[in-house]
Amino acid sequence: MIKTGIDAMSFYVPHRYIGLESLAERHGIDPEKFSKGIGQEKIALPGHDEDIVTMAAEAAKPLIDKYGADGIDTVLFATETGIDQSKSAGIYVHRLLGLPANCRNVELKQACYSATPAIQLACGYVARKPDRRVLVIASDVARYELDSSGEPTQGAAAVAMLISADPRLVEIDPVSGCFTEDIMDFWRPNYRRTPLVDGKYSALRYLNALIEAWRDYQANGGLDYSEIARFCYHLPFSRMGEKAHRHLAKAAKTQVNMDQALPGMIYNRQIGNSYAASMYLALISTLDNSDMDLGGKAMGLFSYGSGAVAEFFAGRVVPGYRDHLFTERHRALIDEREQVDYEGYLKLWQAVDPGDGSERILPDEARGRYRLASINEHQRHYIDSAA
């Protein structure tokens, strides 16, 4: 059988954030409600000239620079904060990165889950055509109403992954367990900028979906819990991952070891929720921040998207994987950010795209090379500032 999986992966996060202590002061509550209660410290904030396209291009550029674009004939863009009801955001990224013209390109949506079917589709494709590679990108901006219970769990980030045969990072096991149920725990109608969410209900359904997907994974011949060295979870907030890990250990009738999951939460605490990118950000965080060499070890991966679809699957870390990480870059992206106060946060949050098609020139604020320069006649114009 041809081995397929993640050959390389990289993330990008905007250069501004608000500390949750500022929101705590605004809400008149103890900051520990956020730092300990939900396990979050900061919210990544995109600028007016940044969106899912610019973040996606920034996340993917290091992969193209290091490994080239040869053999990439498919781009799968996973998001739940799409910018167009018709055109895939990946088409803009395709141009910005200078990818080959003979390339398929499509956008996938199912809340925070869609990057996982993108990877499964990509693995199936490269197993059939092992000389080809697929660029999978998950990019999202999590935004909730001001002063709402969801506000502290906002965030923004993009993760880019090259899927190939004989991967250098993580081999994806073909066995997986899935679960779907029709519920209304989180949703965003076309006419709303922010979602509607029942937080407590969503957390309960998340845990139920985890167990149902795990049982299906076991029924399909998946690894035993004891064979898995590290676990990565979808992280709407870090404390949810801790709850999930305890819940799964209980279902597996074993003692919980939180060290198996905590490395995956390090970046999330500093970035916030990134929807479709969240679980894969946890995967990068685990690879970047685990003290032990994970080469040859199995990792359990749980993906959840409200509404709801869930999947549990596993990957085996390839020996020598550390030579293909972007750890220093990732840490610099997080450490070299600018903090904004509450008023600065409001200005970023309240930016609204012109709905009447009038021209809007956007301020040059992004720290990366790609930016949304203007919107005119309902068309978004992205530029490469290095071109």
- Is 198 annotated to bind a ligand? Reply is no
Taking the C-alpha atoms of residue 108 and residue 113, their distance in angstroms, rounded to an integer, is 9
CB 181 within 8 A of CB 209: yes
- Is 341 annotated to bind a ligand? Reply is no
Environment class of residue 335 by beta-carbon count within 10 Å: exposed (0-12), middle (13-18) or buried (19+)? exposed
Query: Amino acid identity, residue 79?
Result: T
Q: Which of 50, 58, 80, 311 is catalytic?
A: 80
- Is 30 annotated to bind a ligand? Reply is yes
Q: Which of 41, 123, 171, 234 is catalytic?
A: 234
Residue in the block written with tokens 């609204």: 352
CB 265 within 8 A of CB 39: yes
- Is 370 annotated to bind a ligand? Reply is no
Q: Which of 15, 50, 58, 112 is catalytic?
A: 112
Residue in the block written with tokens 């992969």: 63
Query: Given phi > 0 = left and psi -120 to 50 = alpha, else beta, which region is 352?
Result: beta
Handedness of CA 197, 201, 204, 208 (dihedral sign): negative
Active site residue 80: yes
State the Cα angle at 294 between 289 and 300, rounded to 5°: 90
Active site residue 227: no
| C-alpha pair distances (Å), 154 with each of 31, 245, 286, 299, 357 | 16, 22, 21, 27, 28
61: closest CA among 18, 30, 98?
98
Catalytic residue numbers read 80, 112, 234
Binding site feature residues? 30, 144, 243, 273
Numbered residues of the known binding site for (3S)-3-hydroxy-3-methylglutaryl-CoA: 30, 144, 243, 273
